[in-house]
Amino acid sequence: MKIVVIGGTGLIGTKLVKILREGGHDVLAASPNTGVNTITREGLAEALDGADVVVDVANAPVWEDQAVLDFFETSGRNLLAAEAAAGVRHHVALSVVGTERLLDSGYFRGKMAQENLIVASNVPYTILRATQFFEFVSGIVQSAAVGEEIHLSPALIQPISSHDVAAALADVAVGNPLNGITEVAGPEALPLDELVRRFLKRTGDQRKVVPDVHARYFGVALNDQSLTPGKNPRIGSVRFEAWLDQSMAQPAS
Ligand SMILES: NC(=O)c1ccc[n+]([C@@H]2O[C@H](COP(=O)([O-])OP(=O)(O)OC[C@H]3O[C@@H](n4cnc5c(N)ncnc54)[C@H](OP(=O)(O)O)[C@@H]3O)[C@@H](O)[C@H]2O)c1
């Protein structure tokens, strides 16, 4: 089976390409770095020639509100049109658990636009929504810093290892289209402020985490349902502490 991974050079894409190749598939890692660009359409038709499945794990290079919306709209339109022309039989996209609950954030308005284009297209699809990657916790810290303190909501979060996300995506990619949404989450739900406290402690960061129910997450007010999955998500196997131990021992994998 020929599988094209759009964003195949990124965090998830690299892991997904490896898993699919190990499964014996003919996999193309497509991204600007390999000559395939979903914004300019450079190399797109050629990349999709003969493809059975396309997995979109691209991400916007700039996260300013309008730029991220433009990215996901243009990329989604160009990609789905090229897939329809090439006769692709399954479009798989990676999105975020709770996207429709997080629309006060420009980034999530971009992800919602991406999902809406997929649902409206004629290409059979599966949208896999994942919770926050462990690798993203440092980005949360950065966005919540107020001087020497980190202000965070104690709302529940259920983060996941990027390996578990890639494994779930690989299974979706070789399965039949659901023409719907499915979810994957980490093995443990815990308060966001507590997650970050554990992260800072393990990384030797002295800053204090201040719990604040009104603290916004990328502009969004949170409750315990905002970031956590609905009924029956697939659950990853890697726990946050195990990931921390591993990433402190060997920085990149
Ligand atoms: N972070 C989280 O916690 C989280 C949670 C759930 C879902 N997600 C979703 O996961 C997806 C993947 O995230 P990631 O962290 O793996 O991303 P990443 O590491 O930032 O990688 C982004 C990829 O997109 C490619 N790309 C950028 N512009 C492109 C274009 N014009 N055409 C084709 N490819 C392009 C990049 O290619 P180059 O290397 O060539 O630049 C790169 O391969 C995103 O859609 C994100 O919304 C993230």
In 3-state terms, what secondary structure has residue 125? strand
CATH number at residue 161: 3.40.50.720
- Residue 250 Cα distances to 162, 164, 220, angstroms: 15, 18, 34
Task: List alpha helices for 175-239, DSSP H.
Answer: 192-202
Cα(89) to centroid(ligand 1), Å: 22
Give the tokens for residue 230: 């609905």
How distant, in Å, are the alpha carbons of 37, 41, 184, 218 from that of 68? 16, 17, 23, 14
Mutate to test the pocket of ligand 1, among 57, 138, 165 (most ligand atoms within 8 A of CB): 57
Could you tell me the distance, in angstroms and rounded to a whole number, from the CA of residue 117 to the centre of ligand 1?
Answer: 18
For residue 102, what are the domain limits?
Answer: 2-252
How many separate domains does the chain show? 1
Express each pLDDT in 90-133 by its tens digit.
Answer: 999 999 999 999 999 999 999 999 999 999 999 999 999 999 99
Placement of tokens 């070789």 in the chain: 174
| Cα 239 to averaged position of ligand 1 atoms, centre (Å) | 23
pTM over 0.95: yes
Task: With a cut of 70, list the residues of the chain below it in pLDDT.
Answer: 251-253
CB count in 10 Å sphere of residue 130? 26
Q: Whose CA is nearest to atom 34 of ligand 1?
A: 31
